[in-house]
Amino acid sequence: MNYIKEAKTTDIPDYERVYERLNADTQIVKFLHAAMGICTESGELMDALKKHLIYGKPIDNVNVQEEAGDLFWYVAILADAFQFTFEDTMEKNIAKLKARYPNRFTEKDAQLRDLDKERKILEEPRTAAGSLD
């Protein structure tokens, strides 16, 4: 079997529409940049953890903080592209988690999530702290 030939039969036959969507909207370009950067920096964090767990190297706290800062930077690009703030996002995330885990994490609550309720919390209008200036 020629795997590449077989795989190509399920590929997008024409990338022109993809190029059009990419070129038509700077928000999508920012989204792409942020998503790629978040994946890259997350990989660097995992590599630091792997080196500690598998190779026995000490964890470099300075490097972990640097990678966290890089992640924040890419998340800021994402927030700018989609016009949300860190504050609003953090508030909504805590509200969602409180709805999911009323007291604290339990496996039962994790399995019996009310996704409609969580979505409503996430769709609520921004608070004063989460407004964009």
At 64-113, the pLDDT tens digits run 999 999 999 999 999 999 999 999 999 999 999 999 999 999 999 999 99
pTM for this predicted structure: 0.81
Count other C-beta atoms under 10 Å from residue 75's C-beta: 16
Distances 69 to 19, 29, 43, 75 between C-alpha atoms, Å:
31, 21, 14, 10
The answer for residues whose C-beta is within 8 angstroms of residue 80's C-beta and 6 or more apart is: 30
Res 12: pLDDT: 84
Question: What residue segments make up the domains of the chain, in order of their start?
Answer: 13-83, 84-133
